[in-house]
Structure 1
């Protein structure tokens, strides 16, 4: 029996403080009282973006002035399959107010105060806990000189760090990674360890960043709260989704100083590869902090930086 499918445009309406808007479903709709992201069904003659604009006007009385594509999630209810195209809405005109009998509430991803949530929205809440910037360590041969840069980045609000130091191994790597975790956790930031699952578990890091080779060789998600994947093409992004990774890094977007002349994706191919993905994707390779808005216009969750994260 074929399950009927509907497609929906959904909005993550974001305030500057990071809070987003949830709405409770009215009594005359399925799942009454459940909380969800605003939005609605995409009509036959509409694009997802057009449906988003219309729905937010009809539901909330606001006119969207800036929205970027984000995630596409599929969820099967007992008699219906829903495909949700999520947009992040960061600018609008008017004050959101309920026009269809809803109740509205601004929420923070790490402190949801309303319940129950529609089941399809739980992964979206989890994705919203990921910050737009991921910093990749660049200690090199000067670990002592790197740590003040780390501390400065943490005071400036960095919340997600990947420890990747190819020149370190054994006790030296363990000591460095443990130091990064300690300092990051003191600043309420999270740390993933590149490739080394056992080390991540040993030092109580928050997660691991799987290499493309690891991704191809495993069919079981590592037993860690946060799992990322390093990807370079559609096949690897598919594997990251199938494994249940929390996010992916896709590279290289632009030319890099470390690999001059190497092939790059460019923004159009990057956007094509991550279109309709169900997990957040960070852009990596040849980027600066000023590229964040450009990356998000092409569907990225955010950007990952090496040297640029510590300047």
Structure 2
């Protein structure tokens, strides 16, 4: 069965809302909501197809777009490759040129709509930022909390509370304080045993590669309404993350790092190859920072993750 190549768009307006369209009842996956787009013809580039489809479907002209995610999905009757781009500027007023209902939706509200199964990673990518802050270790609690507060004030929306020394009571107390700082402003990702899941209902969970290897076969340990992420370093771990049903991963190390000086870096080319075969958002980690976000997008990643490059106190 030939895989159908589809160009699709996450279109944002000036307020950050995202445009979605309802599929006609007589279409494949009819009645469900989708991100606008359509089939890439044999003689077309993806960007040409995207521009053509959005003009035909919505009456708009794309001004600014960049790669967001590629998703391969196999339905019982159809195999698709969704080549998704984020459109941040366009000309014209979008309207359902083919009679399809449209809605502008806040990213957090996308979970309230029914999408085809192939669209679930796109929903995740549309809700995630391009930068993922990981807190440094060896900081006293007051300094760590001040740094988190400063990072949030600077626009960071996704924060992992790193636990390099195991899951001790001190980390739990810190997590309580960090959750309070992040409430309503940023998404906190905690690391810890699954026994703690019920104690931090607003937090997502970022599992280690060791946890991934131990628990992947048991499936997803928390509800779809909470974020689940995993640390991955190779194709085997990415496959386990897929099996577990995580929402996104970090892939590391891309380049040599001070944190793990002995780890063999993947390099940009290998990182891009690994992302190509993985249909979930990926943050590249290890020797990267905000300056590499465009390069990460070009490699197929959601964005970049890091400690030193993102922490507001440069002395760390």
TM-score (norm 2): 0.84
Counterpart mapping for 1:269-288 below 5 A: 269-288=270-289
1:109, 1:126 within 8 Å by CA — same for their partners in 2? no
Give the Cα–Cα distance (whole angstroms) in 2 for the partners of residues 290 and 4 of structure 1.
Answer: 38
Secondary structure at the residue paired with 1:154?
helix
1:145/1:119 CA distance change after superposition, 3 Å: closer
Deviations 1:226-271, CA, capped at 9 Å, x for gaps: 2211111122112111211111100111222334474322323222
Cα drift, residue 149 of structure 1: 1.2
Q: Which moved more, 1:244-253 or 1:281-290?
A: 281-290
Q: Which moved more, 1:83-92 or 1:138-147?
A: 83-92
Give, in angstroms, the shift of residue 40 of structure 1.
1.0
Distance 1:234 1:48, change over 3 A: farther
Query: Where does the alignment leave 5 or more consecutive residues of structure 2 unmatched?
Result: none
Partner in structure 2 of residue 63 of structure 1: 62
**When the two structures are aligned, how many residues end up with a matched partner?**
307
For 1:207-226, list aligned pairs within 5 A: 207-218=204-215, 219-224=217-222, 225-226=226-227
Question: Are residues 200 and 193 of structure 1, via their aligned partners in 2, closer, same or farther at CA, if it must alter by over 3 Å?
Answer: farther
Structure 1, unpaired ranges of 5+: none
Q: CA RMSD in A?
A: 2.9
* 3-state SS of paired residue (1:99): coil
Matched residues in 1 for 2:106 and 2:74: separation?
23
> What SS does the corresponding residue of 1:90 show, helix, strand or coil?
strand
**Given the superposition, is the C-alpha separation of residues 205 and 56 from structure 1 closer, same or farther in structure 2, using an over 3 Å criterion?**
closer
How much does 1:47 deviate? 4.6
Task: Give me the whole-angstrom Cα distance separating, in 2, the residues matched to 1:166 and 1:179.
Answer: 18
SS in 2 for 1:290: helix
- Cα 1:277/1:222, change in 2 over 3 Å: closer
Alignment of 1:34-183 (within 5 A): 34-61=32-59, 62-76=61-75, 79-112=77-110, 117-167=115-165, 169-183=167-181
Contact persistence 2:71–2:118 (CA under 8 A): no
Q: If the length of structure 1 is used for normalisation, what is the TM-score?
A: 0.85
1:215-294 equivalences under 5 Å are 215-218=212-215, 219-224=217-222, 225-260=226-261, 262-294=263-295
Query: Residues 249 and 283 of structure 2 are in contact (CA less than 8 Å); yes or no, is this contact kept in structure 1?
Result: yes
Counterpart-to-counterpart distance in 2, 1:113 and 1:226: 12
Deviations 1:116-149 (A, max 9, x none): 5445434432442222222111141422212111
Instruction: Rate the CA distance shift 1:192–1:29 in 2: closer, same or farther, 3 A.
Output: closer
CA 1:162/1:102 → structure 2, altered by over 3 Å: closer, same or farther?
Answer: same
Are the counterparts in 1 of residues 68 and 125 from structure 2 also a CA contact under 8 Å? no
User: What is the CA–CA distance in structure 2 between the aligned matches of 1:30 and 1:211, rounded to whole Å?
Assistant: 38
CA distance in 2, matches of 1:39, 1:106: 16
Answer whether contact 1:69 1:298 (CA < 8 A) is retained: no
Could you tell me how far apart the structure 1 residues matched to 2:30 and 2:262 are? 56
